[in-house]
Chain A
Amino acid sequence: MFNQGGLSLDQAPPLSVVLRFFVTASIFGILLGLFLLSQSLNITTLSSYSTQLIIIHTLSLGIMASFMLGALFQMLPVLAGVVIKTPTTKAMIVHTLLSIGVLVQLFAFGISNNSLLFFLAAAYLGVALFYAIYLMLKELIKIKTHSSSSKGILFTLLSLIFTTIFGIYLLLTLGGFTSGVDFTQIKEIHYSFALFGWVSLLIVSVSFQVVEMFYVTPSYPKSISKYLTLTILELLILKTILIIFSFKSTSITAIVSILFLIYATITIDRLTQRKRPVADATVWFWLFGMALFILSMTITFIGSFLPIDSTLQHLSYIAFIGFALSIVFAMVYKIVPFLTWFHLSNQGYMEAPMMHDVIHPKKAKIHFYIHIITIAIWLLTTDITWLGSLLLTISFSWLFYNLTFAIRKYIYTQKHCEKIEW
């Protein structure tokens, strides 16, 4: 993880920068679980379209974007050697605007006919995401010699620009501010950039460095680490052009899914070649995530050529969500204990908790078991059930507990432990 870019005390962002995003993401996860539970028990009765939009955007923005932006604030200095100055204030601005934006957007989807809410959601989310992109891109473009990860993150942020622009257009259309003649096409472009260009490419880019560093595996083949991210971005741009000019773009989707299938297979292969294969929940999350990615991309590939029924389609979506969450959980259980220990240790606290005291590996294992059962139930039912919803709520509640436990350890150590100069 900590490659040539390095990490000094100045470069490691304060714990609050990262944890504010992670804690918020876990709260959105709990809220999503409770919402789905109320839907499955008919306590709330929203239209299926509103429900779909709420689920998708709580997952993609409230949960995934929060986790991913938080992780980027922490990892950019590490993976790309770039420093975001005064990260605490900047992270607070992004985090606040994003959180408000997500909530307003969810209310807009729930109420449906309130133009002002759609406008406010577009404004808050637009400012939050463009500001975050600006902060990161302006540093990334200064890099003279890119690593495969830093280059990939740059392409990921470009994809996020497209995702945000088209997302704003869709929100304004739903609010009645634009005619929305191209609504269906723009929606497809928006989803392509969000799922393939933002979520998947970021995971791919980060994995080029972290898989080898965290798990002592052989490196990815040069052809993959050097060209995969750019190729996928180019394919997504080509797909956009084809959609805009009303040409069929299914062959592009098929190629993208094949590329991701190759990537996921190589990642599993690398993880099985670990030099010290100890039982570690974060590796299990990675392996499970990649298996789900393979399932999702296989269905996407088949769906590019053959008609597939809605059950199979749902299976693909659930597998994709499971993939993204698995990798995010793997990263959280690596980042939080390390950062907590690192900051306390370097502040000179004699009795700074070790990483396994911050979040014990057993707690991560328990989360893995909850997660695997949750995803299994969702895959088996491919529908909103009370059991799947309850398990999702438990999964994020457990994560929330683990994160707040780490925060309490940090604060306790600062308040009660003795400092040394070294």
Chain B
Amino acid sequence: MKKFFLDARELAHPEPLRISLEYLKEMSKKDYFYMLNVRKPIPLLELAKDKGYKLFTHEDSSENWHIIISKDQQKNLEELLDV
């Protein structure tokens, strides 16, 4: 299981979306994508949902968003949360 990590907190639009889509295309079913962002990346989430990925989102106390995405519908994404 490989973790594809992206810290997008200081990336200008649309870099986070572009890099995320590249990672999603590259990932195998066992892998997962972990993104940190200052805002909830609705476009990415909608696209991932549209393509049948499993999603988990969490806003921490510093108002950073943790986004976890996987192709594996059985995976418990909350367990992968790193706060």
Q: Using a CB–CB distance below 8 Å, which chain A residues touch chain B?
A: 1-9, 11, 213-216, 275-276, 338, 341-342, 345-346, 354-355, 420, 422
Contact = CB atoms under 8 A, between A and B. Distances in A.
A275 B51 contact: no
Contact of A338 (B14, B42, B45, B50): B14
Given A4-B40, A422-B25, A214 B47 contact: no
Contact of A213 (B13, B25, B46, B51): B13
Interface in B1-36: 10-14, 17-18, 21, 24-25
A275 B12 CA distance: 9
B46 A8 contact: yes
A346 B47 contact: yes
Given A4-B42, A7-B46, A215-B12, 20 more contacts: A1-B14, A2-B43, A4-B40, A6-B42, A6-B43, A6-B45, A6-B46, A7-B43, A8-B47, A8-B50, A11-B46, A214-B12, A214-B13, A216-B10, A275-B10, A276-B10, A342-B17, A345-B21, A346-B21, A422-B51
B42 A2 contact: yes
By secondary structure, the A interface counts as loop
Contacts of A346: 21, 47
A9 B50 contact: yes
Given A346-B47, A355-B18, A276 B40 contact: no
Range, interface on chain B:
20 to 34
A79 to B, nearest CB: 12
Contact of A276 (B12, B25, B46): B12
B18 A341 contact: yes
Nearest to A422: B25
B59 to A, nearest CB: 12
A354 B21 CA distance: 12
B24 A213 contact: no
A13 to B, nearest CB: 14
Nearest to A7: B43
Interface string B57-76: 00000000000000000000
A2 B50 contact: no
B11 A216 contact: yes
Nearest to A210: B13
A216 B39 CA distance: 12
12 contacts: A1-B13, A2-B13, A3-B42, A4-B39, A4-B42, A7-B46, A8-B43, A214-B12, A276-B11, A341-B18, A346-B21, A420-B25
B14 to A, nearest CB: 5
A213 B12 CA distance: 6
B29 to A, nearest CB: 12
Contacts of A216: 10-12
Question: Which among B11, B45, B47 has the greatest number of chain A C-beta atoms within 10 A?
Answer: B47
B42 A7 contact: yes
Contacts of A3: 39, 42
Contacts of B14: 1-2, 338, 342, 355
Nearest to A5: B42
